[in-house]
């Protein structure tokens, strides 16, 4: 199977306002896929359409080659069982304990009591919350609440885990621990993870592939690292980066790094070439545990051939910029 989720020409409207416009997106089994966009872009609506929480007007969504159908309740229920979902506000029942919240889907599917208890204990241990089994949501932290929600979403052994702004209500340290847990779920349980977020760092940290959605349209999809290296206009719109004015007597290069070793080249270049340059902007970061990013440099046009040949010799990727994007 090459596609676990296949979305074709999906459109959805609210009161004649188009929310999703001809959405096409595919996700392969085992991927951590990021869907990023500004607030109101339609990303959460798309996630709810995948899960069947909301109906779409036209188009098709296939889950493991099965078409989502609103006319076949048995088939729809079977498909939904393969999909777990976690939310920004955790969506826990305040009157029930941690154990009872996790057990709820199993009870809805009328699982045997012994199997339910064993499954809940197994999941609590996996996400690290066995010690709070008897507490209620009001008695635990935000990070613990999200772990409860994750355990509940995993209770029916889904193939897909949908995460709707799952870290936006958490502090940075808790966010990091939840993202590590999602990576562990993906790796150990072989669950495909879809993350909807407006936080760039979330995408950078864990996502293999990504799509950028803007005004209900997917503007670009592809490998996360490649999209950040290209820094296309849809990404600029999310990150707030804008264009820089060029000087006629200067040359600007976009230098792309894919390893920690590559970044050292700029440190040695002025000494090796006996010429200087200015750094216009830099965005070096870790993308899913890989050092990568772009640096934009400016130098006198007369040194263009010298610097380009040096970078070629060092096997550094670069391109000349004529109308470039950069930091504010």
Distance between CA atoms of residues 189 and 175, nearest Å: 21
3 state SS of 111: coil
Distance between CA atoms of residues 17 and 45, nearest Å: 13
What is the predicted pLDDT for the residue at 284?
65
- Over residues 115-120, the mean pLDDT reads 96
Question: Token digits for 293?
Answer: 């990013």
For 68-87, how does the pLDDT look when each residue is reduced to its tens digit (9 = 90+)? 887 777 888 888 899 999 98
pLDDT at 291 over 70: no
For 149-171, how does the pLDDT look when each residue is reduced to its tens digit (9 = 90+)? 999 999 999 999 999 998 887 88
Q: Are 161 and 191 in contact, with CB atoms under 8 Å apart? A: yes
Residue where one domain finishes, among candidates 237, 269, 292: 237
pLDDT at 181 over 80: yes
Residues constituting the chain: 328
Greatest CA span in the chain, whole angstroms? 78
- Check whether residue 194 and residue 255 sit in a common domain: no
Bigger pLDDT: 115 or 246? 115
Distance between CA atoms of residues 192 and 1, nearest Å: 13
- Check whether residue 223 and residue 87 sit in a common domain: yes
What is the predicted pLDDT for the residue at 326?
43
Distance between CA atoms of residues 70 and 281, nearest Å: 50
pLDDT at 220 over 70: yes
What is the predicted pLDDT for the residue at 246?
64
Rg value, the chain, Cα: 23
Instruction: List alpha helices for the chain, DSSP H.
Output: 43-51, 73-81, 98-108, 113-127, 142-154, 172-189, 200-206, 224-230, 233-239, 260-263, 265-273, 304-313
What is the predicted pLDDT for the residue at 325?
44
Q: What angle is formed at CA 115 by the lines to CA 114 and CA 119, rounded to 5 degrees? A: 120
- Check whether residue 183 and residue 138 sit in a common domain: yes
- Check whether residue 207 and residue 144 sit in a common domain: yes
What is the predicted pLDDT for the residue at 274?
85
Neighbours of 5 (CB within 10 A): 22
- Check whether residue 141 and residue 220 sit in a common domain: yes
pLDDT at 1 over 90: no
- Check whether residue 29 and residue 79 sit in a common domain: yes
Residue where one domain finishes, among candidates 210, 237, 264: 237
- Check whether residue 218 and residue 260 sit in a common domain: no
- Check whether residue 91 and residue 229 sit in a common domain: yes
Distance between CA atoms of residues 220 and 222, nearest Å: 7
The domain in which residue 116 lies consists of 5-237
pTM of the predicted structure, to 2 decimals: 0.77
Phi/psi region, residue 165 (left: phi>0; alpha: psi -120 to 50; beta: rest), is left
CATH code (residue 249): 3.30.70.260
CATH code (residue 94): 3.40.50.300
Q: At what angle do helices 142-154 and 113-127 cross, to 10 degrees?
A: 140
DSSP H or E stretch at residue 293: strand 290-300
What is the predicted pLDDT for the residue at 249?
79
- Check whether residue 249 and residue 233 sit in a common domain: no
pLDDT at 236 over 90: no
Bigger pLDDT: 9 or 77? 9
Neighbours of 132 (CB within 10 A): 19
pLDDT at 198 over 90: no
- Check whether residue 87 and residue 126 sit in a common domain: yes
List all residues 6 or more positions away from 10 whose beta carbon is below 8 Å from its beta carbon.
20, 22, 23, 24, 46, 49, 56, 58, 59, 60, 61
Residue where one domain finishes, among candidates 185, 217, 237: 237
Domain count, the chain: 2
- Check whether residue 47 and residue 168 sit in a common domain: yes
- Check whether residue 190 and residue 218 sit in a common domain: yes
Distance between CA atoms of residues 229 and 231, nearest Å: 5
Q: What angle is formed at CA 270 by the lines to CA 303 and CA 324, rounded to 5 degrees? A: 55
DSSP state letters, 174-233: HHHHHHHHHHHHHHHH--EEEEEES-HHHHHHH-SEEEEEETTEEEEEEEHHHHHHH--H
Distance between CA atoms of residues 242 and 13, nearest Å: 31
């Amino acid at each position: 199977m090459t596609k676990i989720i296949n979305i074709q020409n999906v459109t959805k409207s609210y009161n004649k306002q188009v929310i999703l416009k001809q959405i096409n997106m595919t996700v392969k089994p085992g991927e951590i896929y990021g869907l990023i966009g500004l607030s109101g872009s339609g990303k959460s609506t798309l996630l709810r359409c995948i899960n069947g929480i909301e109906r779409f007007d036209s188009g098709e969504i296939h889950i493991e080659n099965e078409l989502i159908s609103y006319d076949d309740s048995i088939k729809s229920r079977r498909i939904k069982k393969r999909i777990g979902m976690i939310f920004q506000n955790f969506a826990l029942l305040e009157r029930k304990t941690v154990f009872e919240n996790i057990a709820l889907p199993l009870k809805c599917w009328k699982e045997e009591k012994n199997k339910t208890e064993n499954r809940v204990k197994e999941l609590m241990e996996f996400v690290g919350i066995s010690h709070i089994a008897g507490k209620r949501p009001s008695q635990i932290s935000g990070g613990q609440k999200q772990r409860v929600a994750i355990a509940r979403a995993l209770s029916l052994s889904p193939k897909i885990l949908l995460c709707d702004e799952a870290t936006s209500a958490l502090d940075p340290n808790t966010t990091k621990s939840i993202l590590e847990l999602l990576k562990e779920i993906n790796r150990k349980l072989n669950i495909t993870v879809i993350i909807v977020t407006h936080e760039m760092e979330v995408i950078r940290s864990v996502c293999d592939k990504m799509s950028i959605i803007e005004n209900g349209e997917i503007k670009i999809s592809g490998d996360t690292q490649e999209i950040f290296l290209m820094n296309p206009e849809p990404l600029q719109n999310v990150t707030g980066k804008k264009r820089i004015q060029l000087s006629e007597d200067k040359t600007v290069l976009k230098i792309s790094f894919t390893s920690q070793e590559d970044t050292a080249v700029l440190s040695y270049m002025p000494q090796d070439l006996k010429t200087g340059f200015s750094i216009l902007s830099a965005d070096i970061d870790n993308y899913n545990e890989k050092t990568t990013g772009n640096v934009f440099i400016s130098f006198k046009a007369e040194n263009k051939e010298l610097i380009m040949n040096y970078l070629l010799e060092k096997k550094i990727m670069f391109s000349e910029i004529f109308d470039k994007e950069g930091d504010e």
